Copies of this chain bind each other. A is one copy, B any other.
Amino acid sequence: MKLSINQLKYLKSLQERKYRQKYHNFIVEGVKLAAEVLSSGSLQVEMVVAQAGWLEEHGHLLRNVETVVPVEAGELKKISLLTTPNQVLLVAKQPDLAFDKAAVSAGTSLFLDDVRDPGNMGTILRIADWFGVKWVFCSPDCVEVFNPKVVQASMGAFLRVKSLEISFEALKAQLPDLPVYGTVLDGASIFSEKPVKASIIAIGNESKGLSPGIQDCLTHRISIPKGEGGGAESLNAAVATGIVCAFFAAGT
């Protein structure tokens, strides 16, 4: 079996953000991730393109899929973005999320300010997933959560963590009283803070840190202290996120 020319065109178009936005969907690749999406049942899957062997093994997961296309490995290679060969690729609808003020007010959320690297974004979603952070808000200039590289790096976190594109100002207007933590160079050591669970942790851009407008709105200026004799200028954005989330988990 082969993909039709139109299917091939359509699948290739989804490598671009504008078409993912137009069709409101995204691509998931690889045996583990595809099985996770299908068995979670939380996303509508419109198309599965897979090798016959994979389809035989996973037939029970395909009940609600609109289109299933069995293909040869060579055909998959044409549409794959992975460098190593894989057996399955699927197209899932992006979830429709509504901002849930009560839920956000009750827990710890992340706000990402201009996080550009897909690997960092995916790793941050995975961190949120690990620590039970339910909401990750992304400024409009962040890399898109449904970018294929983000999807791969997030290891399925997009199934459990809710992400919304929203400006900091709009978020702040919704929740004016929620404490906002942010890492800055001269902040108080997180080692000595007793964090407030119901709050937002703001994470800055990889090279520029938090933008001045957001820094002005922080209620808690925090920092991760360097060790004795430490020489690095900064930590990677995802690593810093992991450390702050761990201290929140330990202290709240």
A43 to chain B, nearest CB (A): 14
Residues of chain B with a CB closer than 8 A to A160's CB: 231-232
A195 to chain B, nearest CB (A): 13
Given A235-B127, A238-B236, residue A132 in contact with residue B246 (CB < 8 A): no
Residues of chain B with a CB closer than 8 A to A55's CB: none
Q: Decide if A126 touches B235 in the complex (CB within 8 Å).
A: yes
In the complex, which residues 109-160 of chain A have their Cβ closer than 8 Å to any Cβ of chain B? 119, 123, 126-127, 129-134, 155-157, 159-160
A242 contacts B by Cβ under 8 Å:
yes
A77 to chain B, nearest CB (A): 23
Residues of chain B with a CB closer than 8 A to A133's CB: 227
A228 contacts B by Cβ under 8 Å:
yes
Q: How many copies does the complex hold?
A: 2
| A contact residues, range | 35 or more
A129 to B236, CA, bound (A): 12
A247 contacts B by Cβ under 8 Å:
yes
A227 to B244, CA, bound (A): 13
Out of B156, B227, B230, B239, which one reaches A239, CB within 8 Å? B239
Per-residue CB contact flags for chain A residues 209-231 toward chain B (1 = under 8 Å, else 0) read: 00000000000000011111111
Nearest residue in B to A160 (C-beta to C-beta)?
Answer: B231
A233 contacts B by Cβ under 8 Å:
yes
A221 to B225, CA, bound (A): 25
Instruction: Tell which of A134, A156, A227 has the most Cβ of chain B within 10 Å.
Output: A227
Q: Decide if B132 touches A227 in the complex (CB within 8 Å).
A: yes
A31 contacts B by Cβ under 8 Å:
no
Residues of chain B with a CB closer than 8 A to A68's CB: none
A191 contacts B by Cβ under 8 Å:
yes
A250 contacts B by Cβ under 8 Å:
yes
Nearest residue in B to A228 (C-beta to C-beta)?
Answer: B132
Q: Decide if A191 touches B127 in the complex (CB within 8 Å).
A: no
The 5 nearest A-B residue pairs measured at CB: A132-B227, A131-B227, A239-B242, A129-B232, A191-B250
Q: List 11 A-B contacts (CB under 8 A).
A: A130-B227, A130-B230, A130-B232, A130-B235, A131-B230, A132-B227, A155-B232, A156-B232, A191-B250, A227-B245, A242-B242
Which residues of A are interface residues toward B (Cβ below 8 A)? Answer: 119, 123, 126-127, 129-134, 155-157, 159-160, 191, 224-236, 238-243, 245-247, 249-250
